[in-house]
Amino acid sequence: MSEINKVVLAYSGGLDTSVILKWLQDHYHCEIITFTADIGQGEELEPARAKAIKLGITPENIFIEDLREEFVRDFVYPMFRANALYEGEYLLGTSIARPLIAKRQIEIARTTSANAVAHGATGKGNDQVRFELGYYALEPGIKVIAPWREWDLTSRERLLAYAENAGIAIEMKHKAGGAPYSMDANLLHISFEGRHLEDPKAEAEPSMWRWTVAPEAAPDAPEFLDIEFDKGDPVALDGKALGPAAMLTELNRLGGKHGVGRLDLVENRYVGMKSRGCYETPGGTILLKAHRAIESITLDREVAHLKDDLMPRYAALIYNGYWWSPERRTLQVLIDHTQIGVSGWVRLKLYKGSVVVVARDSAVSLFDKSIATFDEDGGAYDQKDANGFIKLNALRMRIAETARRRRTQ
């Protein structure tokens, strides 16, 4: 323990990380630096400063930073260029936030000469992997402290007793047995896990959802919106230029208003177990639909299909914590190259939980009406050419079937 001279703790200001802060002081007797990231969780972060000071952290060792723009620009947008979905449904809202937090922790460790970092992820979940793979990829010699894998606070009762003895404020919801769900929020999504949701056959309570209205309670009139893309990224909404954080914030508002973006999923965690989670990703759901629509008219067929082939692998890399890996970086170069011509606009209709593409156009569209038309095309496409095309593509199957018949005679 004496080899730890200074540790940078990912600190939310909540009960668990406050207990971790005190535990680090008690067990490692080292200088503590707290880092609290604003990635759009929608909570006031200044109370984290007051709590840290109350626990003995000096003001110069408290870092509270607004990372919303960087989060969307450098992490969410590159991921959406790939149309990434984990196991066909999950938009990776929690997964994509962890590499940014890890990156900033390491940067703070470097500037403050800290030789260790710490996080509050449990030993059962994915986040411990995501944080620590990021730490080691960016700073190979860093020491990592994961209190949930070290301490003996193995029950909620022990945790609360430790907090009470340390003078850490305990909210009534914790005294009464804890909040009904474990929640994680950022600009891309809010997730819910635990308690009632641990039974996959139990429907999520209607009161659980925070960002989206129930689809049946959404407005009776549809709402249309236009999203403009440049090189694969959204740059304007209804003709108004918006930066990344502002764009996602507004899409969240519009999607939430119309009940868009709810998901109830049993997923496969990287550590081996199945887990049930519920997610609200209104802006991301809209963005994915719009991005695929603009790609449909601007991407070459084989490039689009190659991206679809690679997407599950790319999504799994992010889910499993390999954002900083050489393979994810390599895939990103390929994906970003495909987006050079992905520019134009998409019109969508939001209505009672659904997102429907109704129009799209691009100055570099590959859609050629003169060829695709069912009407007279002026010789742009000779339908007789299909004869040879079909026969050549059928040749191997004809040969195989002929050979099969010979064998069975």
Catalytic residue among 16, 81, 191, 343: 16
Catalytic residue among 127, 191, 276, 328: 127
Separation of alpha carbons 183 and 19, rounded Å: 18
Catalytic residue among 68, 98, 262, 360: 98
- 347 an active-site residue? no
Separation of alpha carbons 43 and 39, rounded Å: 10
Other beta carbons less than 10 A from residue 409's beta carbon:
5
Cβ–Cβ < 8 Å for 287, 254: no
- 368 an active-site residue? no
Amino acid letter, residue 235: V
Cβ–Cβ < 8 Å for 126, 90: no
- 127 an active-site residue? yes
Cβ–Cβ < 8 Å for 40, 143: no
Cβ–Cβ < 8 Å for 349, 330: no
First to last CA, the chain: 78
Catalytic residue among 38, 73, 74, 182: 182
- 343 an active-site residue? no
Q: Which residues are catalytic?
A: 16, 98, 127, 182
